[in-house]
Amino acid sequence: MRSRKKKQRSPLFALLLFAFFLGLGGTAAYRRYGPSSERMTEEALYGVRGERTAIMYEYELQKATAICRDQEAYLPIEWVQTILNKRFYWDAEEGLLLYALPDQVVRMTLESRGESGRALCVEERDKLWLSAELVETYTGIRVERFLDGDVKRIFISIPHGEDRVSGVRGNTVLRSRPSIKGSIVGEVSEEERLRSIPDHPNAVTDTKRWRRVMTKGGVTGYVRLRKLYAEETVPYRSTFEEPVYRSKRLEEPIVLGWHQVTTKEANQGIDSVTASAKGLTVISPTWFSLRGNEGEYQSLANRSYVEAAHRKGLKVWALIDNFDDSVTLGAMLKRSSVRERLIENLMRDAENFGLDGINVDFELLRRDAVKQYLQFIRELSVACRRRELYLSVDVPNPAPYNAHYDREELGVFCDYVINMGYDEHTGGDPMGSTSSIGFFRAGITDTLKEVPADKLIAGVPFYTRIWKKERNGKESSEIVTMRGAEKWMEQYRLHPEWNEESGQYVGSRVTDDGSVQWIWMEEERSMALKLEAIRAHALAGIACWKLGIEKNEIWELMSDEKSTE
């Protein structure tokens, strides 16, 4: 019987098997803990290809994209207006691109060319695109173009005066995130100089190990800090000069009174409404009222009125309103030719009647009319500045529903912004004060967030409301003058009590039919509190609606205001 010998494995086989499994473990460990070799393409990084051009604003990729034409990037006007410069105005109907400077309105068309010979704007798919050259001309920005190749991009940032630049120790890679597991987005040679750039908002980066940088070729990513050396600061000098929109100022504190003029005969009332107004410095007659949507307006202006006001030492700022039902403000101001006609007519009347200024009182401004409204104000400001006319604009007391008025922009272009600190409670509202001191003070402080104090005039009411609450709960009100309110109190022998919260005397009575009437008074004490608030913030002055309905005693306060600087 043959014997069987057991086969023995050689030591070499065991060693090879051990090495194999060790290699498998090492590969797995390297994949888990070693640097990633995965590469991210520029197309994946910037999300564009061909003529589409990525926009990097403050080194952050934007959702909006530009287009490349003739080796120039063209930016969507909506993005430019929202992010960079709201003052570009496109009139699609008349094919005009406008930009208001302090002394002129620059007019451009699709045929306009810049210094480079390229088009300043192009139209595509019913949208307007502005050349980076044009935007750079009127905006304090830094523009860097990377328009060669298939993945184009443009970097736009606010100049900060200097760059931090570092050398590179040996060849290295840029990664998509501050980790060796981040994808490779670019390679850097040791001859390259890298610019340090801000990290992404809310990014959590180990700044002792990683830094976000940008290459000369316009690629951004993260590099190990140990690969950088010899950091230096390189100055960046912008040649852009911010235009100065100068404003006119009255040397004395402004005490403005609106004079409601509804007929030509009412102009004869200037003597009666100013007879007791010892502190008055400016009178604003309600002379101009828009009619229709072609830039026309009804005028009640009178040369003799202006001459009489000047003899009294008063400036005359004629008011223009949009109260007529025939006016759709956004539609009217949308067309450049209509705005131009309206402004030309106002300037003609200003010269013919010897006006000192224009007061714009466009109320109930819809959100979709804001751009047109602001452009009108910009263009009107240029015309007023050329003729040395004062330009003021009336705005409602700040509230969430009227924040779109853009008081900050109005404060740039207008000499004065008048905050109408009244109508806290008006027709259709629950009963309450017309202008409580809290409401009035909040109007000042909120407006000062956007308008400088030396441009802000606080509007006060010379009227109030008598409220009525019926037994079934229905509420209504009627406007009464300051004088009328006092007579009403006397008629019913009411003794109002001072209310600290509203800063007013408050009175009430029960009528014969069981209804209850309430009144929040406007008189010397409530007005003194408002004047106190105006002085506390060193505002430009006060505006009063309206002349002829106040108590004579009010002017003692106003006279004190005029003498207080």
Q: How many Å separate Cα 376 from the centre of its chain?
A: 15
pLDDT exceeds 60 at position 564? no
Report the distance separating Cα 410 and Cα 395, nearest Å: 10
Instruction: Name the nearest CA neighbour of 74 among 102, 52, 106.
Output: 52
Distances 214 to 82, 174, 219, 222, 235 between C-alpha atoms, Å:
26, 9, 5, 9, 17
Report the distance separating Cα 235 and Cα 164, nearest Å: 9
pLDDT exceeds 50 at position 113? yes
**How many other β-carbons are positioned within 10 Å of the β-carbon of residue 91?**
17
pLDDT (average), residues 442-454? 98
pLDDT of residue 558: 86
pLDDT of residue 30: 46
Average pLDDT across the chain, whole number: 94
Given pLDDT bands bounded at 50, 70 and 90, which one contains residue 2?
very low
pLDDT of residue 33: 63
Given pLDDT bands bounded at 50, 70 and 90, which one contains residue 4?
very low
Instruction: Name the nearest CA neighbour of 391 among 420, 415, 418.
Output: 415
pLDDT (average), residues 46-70? 97
Q: What is the dihedral of CA 346, 352, 353, 355, to 10 degrees?
A: 60
Do 190 and 228 form a contact (C-beta atoms < 8 A)? no
Peptide bond into 546 cis (omega under 30): yes
pLDDT exceeds 70 at position 468? yes
* Alpha helix stretches (DSSP H) within 354-497: 370-386, 407-413, 437-447, 482-491
Longest dimension (CA), the chain: 147
pTM above 0.85, yes or no: yes
Given pLDDT bands bounded at 50, 70 and 90, which one contains residue 500?
very high
Do 356 and 390 form a contact (C-beta atoms < 8 A)? yes
Give backbone dihedrals phi and psi of 290, rounded to 5 degrees, phi first.
-55, 145
Give backbone dihedrals phi and psi of 263, rounded to 5 degrees, phi first.
-140, 160
pLDDT (average), residues 508-537? 97
Report the distance separating Cα 286 and Cα 260, nearest Å: 5
**Burial zone of 377 (CB within 10 Å; 0-12 exposed, 13-18 middle, 19+ buried):** buried
pLDDT of residue 297: 98
pLDDT exceeds 60 at position 28? no
Share of the chain above pLDDT 90, in %: 90
Residues contacting 187, CB < 8 A, separation 6+: 171, 172, 173, 174
Q: For the CA atoms of the chain, what is the radius of gyration?
A: 35
pLDDT digits (tens, 9 = 90+) for 200-232: 998 888 889 999 999 999 999 999 999 999 999
> Is residue 517 helix, strand or coil?
strand
Given pLDDT bands bounded at 50, 70 and 90, which one contains residue 8?
low
